[in-house]
Structure 1
Amino acid sequence: MDYVPYAVPFFLLAILVELTYGFLKQNNTYRLNDAISSLFMGSLRTANKLIFIGVGGYVFYLIETNLSLWRMDGSSVFTWIFAFVVYDFFYYWFHRISHERQIFWASHVAHHQSEDYNLSTALRQTGTGALLTWVFYMPVFLIGVPSYVFVSVASLNLIYQFWVHSEHIPKLGFYEWVFVTPSNHRVHHAQNDEYIDKNYGGVFIIWDRMFGTFKEEDTKIPCIYGIRGPIRTFNPIWANLHIYVQMLKDIWNSKSLKDKLYVPFARTGWRPSSLENDTFKDDFDPNLFKKYDPQSSQKIKFYAFVQFIVLSFVGLIVLESGIFEYSELCIIIGMMAFTMFCTAAWLDGKNAYKSESLRLIVLLVLGVYALSNPLNYQLALGLFIYVALNLFALPILKPSIN
């Protein structure tokens, strides 16, 4: 069983609690634009896993039914504990290579782009992870872990990782030696020279201690969050794709066939020899670092928050209902992504009036199409009401952009 959907309401409640605590302590770690961007990406990941998870699931099924050495007893407590620990071991190596090799970093980078560190950052998940992640967990099925146990421990691992994304929790003494904590995970998200590419464990930090990738947080060196070569946008589509685009450019522009073939498998940040002077990363200087924070009106921020609520409802309730065909899922997820794109443009300080107008026209057409099936009348009505409310908001938003 995947426990993550059941945990989402508690995630959102915890974010509200952390936000309130930060205000009371006069140490707020949230910016609405950054938090909405992270939450958008979490919603997009929840939605598109319904499309992308098929390949990995099919491979797991083939291994479990034809290639596993034996089948462990799913009713045994030992099986669950063993699977939980083994999953985290393979997660460590998947996570580590996701920082060290470009094709995997292209997916994982989305989680590290936030320049804030709070519980909303935990929900900032890649939308393309399901394409390659499954490769690292094939051994789990080879040694006989039942698929339902695997899904369960994987979701528990992810749920555990949520709480460690906080600046408000100090070091936790002996607990720090064995488990991933807010302190040692802050190091993982930092781009400081002293901290970068450390602490890859999901639940257990012992893997990092064993394999030489552990770094303790130094209170004299504040963590600076984000990535080198920041994307300077809250657009979740570009956030998911920008490294893939850069790799394709390098493959296209490189003059060496060897370099072209090597680009996806190269160490993160590597450039073809003919393009070494064409860097896309800024030289990092902690004294000059400044967060990306374009100004936007309170109206735009409120509009973005409402869009997040709507998209969360669509992602958690509508898509999880199981009533849509594959083609319909693709359309719904595509429109979710389009909505995020437009909303992020407002948050970036851009005038998204034209793209918003196009989005609403497409939604209106989809609503009319839905009327062709009597079973979709309620869906069509919901779309028409949503479009009407957005049309009311657009004239209010447009003057907010200089």
Structure 2
Amino acid sequence: MDHKLNFVAFIIPAFFLFLGLEYAIARKRGKSKLFTYENSIANISVGIAERLLNLLITGSFYGLFYYIYEHYALFIIPNRWPVWIALLLATDFIWYWYHRLGHEINVMWGAHIVHHHSEEFNYTVSARITTLQAIIRNLFWCILPFLGFHPAMVIAILVVHGTYSFFTHTQLIGKLGWLEYILITPSHHRVHHASNEKYLNKNYGDIFIFWDKLFGTFQKEEDEPVYGLTHPLKSHSFLWQHFHYYFELAEACRRSGSLLKSLKIIFGRPEDLDQTIREDLERSLLPARRNFRSTFRFKVYLNLQLLACALGLFSFTLFFFELNAIESAFIIALILITLINCGALLEQQEWIYFLEIARLLIACAYISYLGESFGFFCVSIIGVLIIATINAFEKMYFRFVYDTEYDE
């Protein structure tokens, strides 16, 4: 039987290969502090979730590109080498405005802010893209087939575009001479990710820097960049990182007491949003973090979970076209719960015990489905429920995970 494999999966090991090379070079140069354990885990977790969920929507958008091209294209642009150059410029021009609006309009910033959470800057940061951000970005790309660029050409250019931006997320590459006048270099992109006042809302381009110079948003790297948000997020929670800004917008709208004021908030500027709202929400919605020192055993346990997610993503991507809807749902649920669990581990939250029970139940259900054995599922459920009711297991679990006694 022929298997229809999705070779896009090999982007995943390529990402980790370049990440490993960057870390090795950083250590050799005595710059290993460019990586922090908690930030790197959080960055990779967000990236795995985006790649996982994007598998479900990418094909739909490619189909939309073809539909728009076949029914609404303004022109039929031929496949000639000058057209490829024009397409690359058009793609980067659209990116510039998508990216700029993503920083200037609250509802779009809520999708993009996750990319700027990290207080470090390395290749792991390139993975911090949410599925919602990817959806908004693809809607902007629909302009290209509407203009008349063939979808196959658009898709090919988007691969180049996305690959280039990965390599701009590093501190190991200095300024690149005359290329600084043409391309978005790591130096230019470091400015974009910095929270220094002079660097805010600068350098929106993805490949070319001349859009920023043309529209007045260019800033060269001068002072040492300070990475992250102007008001840093006080949590590594996987869920809070994804949704906190929309909670903030909802709370700001509730406090406004007016539909008109709420619309002004939703489509207003991020810098005008009351920054105390996040602090209030973090106090009321986030459980208090436990005092905890990150031990070797804890890191091994967390690393194994993240490795399992990465291997699961690779396998899911490679065999994506071979899986049915039920199998896909089980795998997605297992990986997402594990990623949520990783965030909860970084926050040292005690409710992860119950998350583990849910994960065990889903794993048992999936194994039973594969083996077509309802009896195994019933026995597994009973076993998991028995474990869940034993308080001693709960204590043992937390003692293992946190290398400390579980607080009663």
**TM-score, shorter chain, exceeding 0.5:** yes
Q: TM bucket by the smaller chain?
A: 0.7 to 0.9
Asked if 1:46 is matched to 2:73, the reply is no
Q: Deviation at 1:258?
A: 0.2
Show CA shifts across 1:207-254 (max 9, x none): 111110000000xx2111111332222223221211122222223332
> After the TM superposition, which residues 80-99 of structure 1 pair with which residues of structure 2 at under 5 Å, given as runs?
80-99=84-103
CA distance in 2, matches of 1:355, 1:311: 16
List per-residue Cα deviations over 1:266-320 (Å, max 9, x = no partner).
112434xxxx5854379xxxxxxxxxx9742222212222222211122122234
Is it true that 1:182 corresponds to 2:182 in the alignment? no
Residue type at the aligned position of 1:43: I
Q: CA 1:209–1:373 in structure 2 vs 1: closer, same or farther (change >3 Å)?
A: farther
| Residue of structure 2 equivalent to 1:353 | 353
What is the alpha-carbon distance in structure 2 between the residues aligned to residue 52 and residue 264 of structure 1?
A: 25
The residue type equivalent to 1:40 in the other structure is S
Out of 221, 228, 231, the residue aligned to residue 230 of structure 2 is 228
Answering whether residue 161 of structure 2 is matched by residue 157 of structure 1, we say: yes
| Structure 2: gaps spanning 5 or more residues | 1-5, 281-290, 375-379, 385-393
Aligned positions of 1:1-400 closer than 5 A? 5-28=9-32, 29-53=34-58, 56-74=61-79, 76-218=80-222, 221-271=223-273, 278-280=276-278, 295-321=293-319, 322-326=321-325, 328-351=327-350, 352-372=352-372, 396-400=400-404
Tell me, yes or no, if the aligned pair for 2:249 and 2:266 is still in contact at 8 Å: yes
Give, in whole Å, the separation in 2 of the partners of 1:97 and 1:65. 28
- Deviation larger for 36-45 or 256-265: 256-265
Instruction: Sort the Cα spacing of 1:133 and 1:3 in 2 relative to 1 into closer, same or farther, 3 A.
Output: farther
TM-score for both structures, normalised by structure 1: 0.84
Per-residue CA shift, 1:141-196, capped at 9, x if unaligned?
12211112111111211110111111111111111010011111100000110111
Q: In structure 2, do the counterparts of structure 1 residues 229 and 334 end up closer, same or farther at CA, with 3 Å as the change threshold? A: farther
Shifted more, 122-131 versus 94-103: the winner is: 122-131
Matched position secondary structure for 1:216: coil
Q: 1:157 to 1:365 in 2, by over 3 A?
A: same
Larger deviation: 58-67 or 164-173?
Answer: 58-67
1:191/1:223 contact within 8 Å kept:
yes
CA deviation profile, 1:111-136 (whole Å, cap 9, x unmatched): 11111011111122223223322232
Q: What amino acid sits opposite 2:315 in the alignment?
A: I
The question of whether the paired residues in 1 share the 8 Å contact of 2:101 and 2:108 is answered with: yes
Give 1:108 deviation, angstroms: 0.8
1:105 Cα deviation (Å)?
0.8
Q: Who is 2:391 aligned against?
A: none
Aligned partners of 1:398 and 1:255: how far apart in 2? Answer: 44
Please give the secondary structure, in 2, of the residue aligned with 1:71.
Answer: coil
Please tell me whether the aligned partners of residues 296 and 349 of structure 1 are also in contact (alpha carbons under 8 angstroms).
no
Distance change in 2, residues 1:194/1:334 (3 Å)? same
Other-structure match for 1:289: none
Find the aligned partners of 1:164 and 1:95 in 2 and give their Cα distance.
15
Summarize the Cα distance change of 1:194–1:277 in structure 2 as closer, same or farther, 3 Å threshold: closer
> Structure 1: any 5+ residue segments left out of the alignment?
283-292, 375-379, 385-390
1:396 to 1:206, Cα distance in 2 relative to 1, 3 A:
same
Does the CA-based 8 Å contact 2:184-2:206 persist in structure 1?
Answer: yes
CA distance in 1, matches of 2:339, 2:349: 14
4+ runs of 1 displaced by more than 6 Å?
391-394
Gap change, CA 1:327 and 1:97, over 3 Å in 2: farther
Number of residue pairs matched by the alignment: 371
Higher helix content, 1 or 2: 2
Q: For 1:180 and 1:294, how far apart are their aligned partners in 2? A: 41
- State the superposition RMSD in angstroms: 2.9
Aligned partner of 2:122: which letter?
Answer: N
